[in-house]
Amino acid sequence: MIEKILVLEVVLPLLAAPVCVLVRHPRFCRLFSLGVIAACFAIAVALLVEVRGGGVISYQLGGWPPPLGIEYRVSTINAYLLALVTAMALVVFSFDSRGGPPRVPEQRRHLYYAVFLLCISGLLGIAITGDAFNIFVFLEISSLSSYILVSLGGHRRAVMSAFYYLVMGTIGGVFFMLGVGLLYQATGTLNLRDIAARLEPSLDDRGTVLALALLVVGISIKLAVFPLHHWLPNAYSFAPPKVSAFLAATATKVSFYLLAMVLFTIFGAPFVFEELRLQAVLLPLSILAMFLASGAAIFQTDLRRLLAYSSVAQIGYMTLGLSTANATGLAGGLVHLFNHAVMKGGLFLVVACLLYRVGSVHIDALAGIGRRMPLTSAALVIGGLSLIGVPGTVGFVSKWYLVSGVLERGWTAAAVLILLSSLLALVYVGKVVEVLYFRKPAETQPVDHVREAPLGMLAPAWVLAVAAVFFGLTTDWTYGVAREAAELLLAGGI
Amino acid sequence: MNLPEALVSSVGWGLWAYWLIIALMMVGLYIVIARDNLIKKVMGLNIFQAAAILFYVTMAKVEGGTAPIVPAGADHAGGHGGHEIVYSNPLPHVLMLTAIVVGVATTALALALAVRIHGDYGTSEEDEAVVYDMEHG
């Protein structure tokens, strides 16, 4: 039974998108999309429950058995990602529609929902499929729709950012496609498990090394790994805030899964981390991301831009977990995937609330807002504390396991650097909190008229804020699943 | 193998198709990086994608192979009239049909964005748009 409904995870949002285009009724489309996403979330949770403890569910599209046919294959790590993407989509979609894209009039909102659904189905497709070229197709479906979503931000620079994102994203996509081509050339198959079984990577085989290089660079562009992150701050700060919340919480996370899958499942940890020693590149870049991006975040005057730079830094933590190549560190990276989605999604939703009531998220415009919008500001403080990694929040859980993993590897200096970089987060979060609560509003910008955000906006933001604390205290679900996924990856499985 | 030898063997004529593809890719990438005009950037991106598509098509070629269409009267082993038929690999071609569709969608979207940018900025030149942003915030 469960393997029959597995395919619906991708098919439902994919079919719902044209339905939205045809029906053209904004309210119907909104509720319909919400229903579809809720169904996807329910399926994802059912899948996760089913595969916990090492189970695998496989679905053969069109009845063609793998490796010839395309296989949808779900193990712990895929189900973890599916649940994350659908959960975040559900929260973001339930956010009040008044926080939607400012440039799209109400009578054309149905197109916005359709693109959003396409983006979701692309991301879910990447997570669920067991076929290398199928991944490329879903990657481009999700990327193309996220370029559109980014371009809908109110400011003229949103369109420019979307164009820049498109150029970078396409280059990344073509690199990925070339890498898949080289793997196909080496193995004669596109099924991921079949590639992994047939591929015998060695440093003398230039084709394989080139394939690895192309795949890693291509995915790193989409993931915004430090020197390739240039598209991200612009895209996230000019996109509609709901879109930023969704993309920050899911798009880069799915790319992270893809990178981990390529490194551990296809090429295998022994080749990548012992023969090739990829960590010699990945570790310094991760640490640079943590420091330079956090440093850049300190100097931002726009809250969205500050959060975007902080995202680049957080991606650094995830890739740091990847480069340890041990179960604790990798699980730390994978659990940070969820934890960062919760906190950054929540923070961007808070930004959406502030934008709706204050009209600007420039740091000067936020002076004194803490008293006018106490609940919104409190959610921001919780998210901020989590970014720093204060005990009791999800950020602490991630950093705890990351530091343990790094120490297990014997990299004491890296562990110290993780802790030092948290101080930078303290500075940029502290800056925002200081402005919100302690700075007097400027004479030219009275805030007396500002009221608390409506419930339809506050509730989703608070759901994520509460989750940031809840999963900071109970780690059985998040770390338990991440640990299982990490062990699976290290064993070369998916 | 020392370095000159490795160079000579890798520039061997047997790999000329790859060198063409690499050259085409770099031409595309160079246009994307060096040109300020957004339309030219899109064209560069197209050339870049076309190179990747050609790479797949090259890969499908089997020496002496014919179009992968089984002739009427072929036996189960794929032989015909007593001798075996060699076919080119059809799979990469099929994959590239999808990749071409992706490329068309990307181009259409990029051009649509360029139209919007021209409407908002009054220019299709990236450097002029950057100046406009600095002046208008």
pLDDT of residue B12: 56
User: 3-class SS at A129?
Assistant: strand
Place of tokens 């949770």: A45
pLDDT of residue B68: 82
How far is Cα A339 from Cα A345, in angstroms, rounded to an integer? Answer: 10
Query: Which amino acid, A443?
Result: E
pLDDT confidence band for B79 (50 / 70 / 90): low
Chain B nearest C-alpha distance from A323 (Å): 29
Interchain CB distance below 8 Å, A163 and B55: no
**Helix or strand holding residue A12 (H, E):** helix A8-23
* Residues from chain A contacting residue B105 (CB–CB below 8 Å): 140, 144
CA distance A181 to chain B (A): 6
Q: Count CA within 13 A, CB hemisphere, residue B87.
A: 13
End-to-end CA distance of chain A: 21
pLDDT at B3 exceeding the cut of 80:
no
User: Are residues B54 and B92 in contact, defined by beta-carbon separation less than 8 angstroms?
Assistant: no
CA A200/CA A193 separation, integer angstroms: 13
Q: What is the pTM of this model?
A: 0.93
Residue A481, burial from CB neighbour count under 10 angstroms (0-12, 13-18, 19+):
buried
The stretch B117-130 carries a mean pLDDT of 89
Bridge partners for B87 per DSSP? B66
**Mean of the per-residue pLDDT values for chain A?**
91
Looking at beta carbons, which residues of chain A come within 8 Å of B117? 159-160, 163
Show the DSSP H helices in B14-125 as ranges.
Answer: 16-34, 38-60, 91-121
Segment A208-212 mean pLDDT: 93
Q: Report CB contact under 8 Å: B113, A147.
A: yes
Mean pLDDT within A461-485: 91
Dump pLDDT digits (tens) for A218-271: 999 999 998 899 999 999 999 998 999 999 999 999 999 999 999 999 999 889
Contact A177 B52 (CB under 8 A): yes
Of B32, B98, B121, the CB nearest to A137: B98
Which one of B55, B105, B133 has the shortest CB-CB distance to A157?
B133
Q: B96, B98, B102, B124: which to substitute to probe chain A, counting the most A Cβ within 10 Å?
A: B102
DSSP per-residue letters across A444-469: TS--TT--PPPHHHHHHHHHHHHHHH
Query: Using CA atoms, how far apart are residues A483 and A328, in angstroms rounded to an integer?
Result: 7
> What pLDDT is recorded for position B135?
86
Establish if A171 touches chain B: CB-CB under 8 angstroms.
Answer: yes
Q: A156 contacts in B (CB within 8 Å)?
A: 120-121
Q: What is the pLDDT of residue B1?
A: 47
Cα gap A94→A103, rounded to integer Å: 20
- The answer on pLDDT for A95 being more than 70 is yes
Q: How far is A285 from chain B (nearest CA, A)?
A: 23
For residue B126, what pLDDT band results from cuts at 50, 70 and 90? confident
A67 preceded by a cis bond (ω within 30 of 0) = yes
Confidence of residue A393 (pLDDT cuts 50, 70, 90): very high
Task: Confirm or reject contact between B28 and chain A (CB < 8 A).
Answer: no
Q: Which residues of A159-190 are buried (b: 16+ CB within 10 A; e: fewer)?
A: bbbbbbbbbbbbbbbbbbbbbbbbbbbbbebb
Chain A positions in Cβ-Cβ contact with residue B99 (cut-off 8 Å): 136, 177
Q: Which residues contact B124 (CB under 8 A, 6 or more apart)?
A: B37, B38, B39, B114, B117, B118
Residue B11 reports pLDDT greater than 70? no
Contact A151 B116 (CB under 8 A): yes
Give the Å distances, CA to CA, from A182 to A155, A218, A273, A317: 41, 14, 21, 30
Rounded Cα gap, residues B22 and A182, in angstroms: 14
How far, in Å, CA of B108 to CA of B58, rounded? 26
Distance, CA of B78 to CA of B70 (rounded, Å): 7
What local confidence, expressed as pLDDT, does residue A358 receive?
Answer: 87
CB atoms within 10 A of CB A301: 12
CB contact under 8 A, B117 and A159: yes
pLDDT in tens, A341-377: 999 999 999 999 998 888 888 888 888 888 889 999 9
The pLDDT of A106-122, averaged and rounded, is 91
Burial class from Cβ neighbours inside 10 Å (0-12, 13-18, 19+) for residue A200 reads: exposed
Token output for A394: 């999800």
Q: Cα torsion for A334, A339, A344, A345, to the nearest 10°?
A: 100
| Chain B interface includes A27 (CB < 8 A) | no
Question: What is residue A59's three-state secondary structure?
Answer: strand
* Listed residue (A36, A32, A166) closest to A109, CA to CA: A32
Distances (CA, A) of A435 to A289, A348, A369: 26, 18, 8
Mutate to test the interface with B, among A135, A174, A237 (most CBs of B within 10 A): A174
Q: pLDDT exceeding 70 applies to what percent of chain A?
A: 100
Q: State both tokens at A36.
A: 């579809």
Q: What is the pLDDT of residue A143?
A: 95
A174 touches chain B (CB under 8 A): yes
- Tell me the two tokens of residue A96: 């009040």
- A4 CB near a chain B CB, below 8 Å? no
User: Who's near A416: CB < 8 A, 6+ residues apart?
Assistant: none
By C-alpha distance, the chain B residue nearest A181 is B56
Q: Check residue A83 and give its pLDDT.
A: 94
Say if CB A331 and CB A300 are below 8 A apart. no
Q: In the prediction, which pLDDT does A67 show?
A: 83
pLDDT for the residue A68: 86
Give CA–CA dist A345/A91, Å, rounded.
9
Residues 102-161 of A with CB under 8 A from B: 133, 136-137, 140, 144, 147-148, 151, 156-157, 159-160
Amino acid at B9: S
Which DSSP string do the residues of A218-247 spell out, in sequence order? Answer: HHHHHHT-GGG-THHHHHHHHS-HHHHHHH
Higher pLDDT residue, A100 or B105?
Answer: B105
**Which residues lie below 8 Å from residue B86, measured CB to CB, with a gap of 6+?**
B62, B63, B64, B65, B66
Chain B (42-61) residues lying within 8 Å, Cβ to Cβ, of chain A: 45, 48-49, 52, 55-56, 59
Rg (CA), chain A: 21
B/e letters for A25-62, b = 16+ CB within 10 Å, e = fewer, are ebeebbebbeebbebbbebbebbbebbeeeeebebbee
Q: What tokens were used for B132?
A: 């406009």
Give B113→chain A minimum CA distance, Å. 6
Quick check: B32 and A171 CB within 8 A? yes
Rounded percentage of chain A residues whose pLDDT exceeds 90 = 69
Interface contacts (A, B; CB < 8 Å) = 68
Q: Residue A307: pLDDT above 80?
A: yes
Tell me how far CA of residue A467 lies from CA of A48, A91, A153, A206, in angstroms. Answer: 19, 12, 27, 46
Identify all chain B residues contacting A136, using CB atoms and an 8 Å cutoff: 99, 102
Over residues A16-37, the pLDDT tens digits come to 999 999 998 888 999 999 999 9
Q: Do B113 and A133 touch (CB under 8 A)?
A: no
Per CB-CB distance under 8 Å, the chain A contacts of B102 are 136-137, 140, 144, 173
Find the closest chain A residue to B60 by CA distance: A185
**B22 at A interface, C-beta within 8 A:** no
- Which of chain A's residues have a Cβ under 8 Å away from the Cβ of B17? none
The DSSP H or E segment spanning B83 is: strand B83-84
Q: Which of A200, A345, A302, A318 is nearest to A259 (CA)?
A: A318
Q: Do A163 and B113 touch (CB under 8 A)?
A: yes
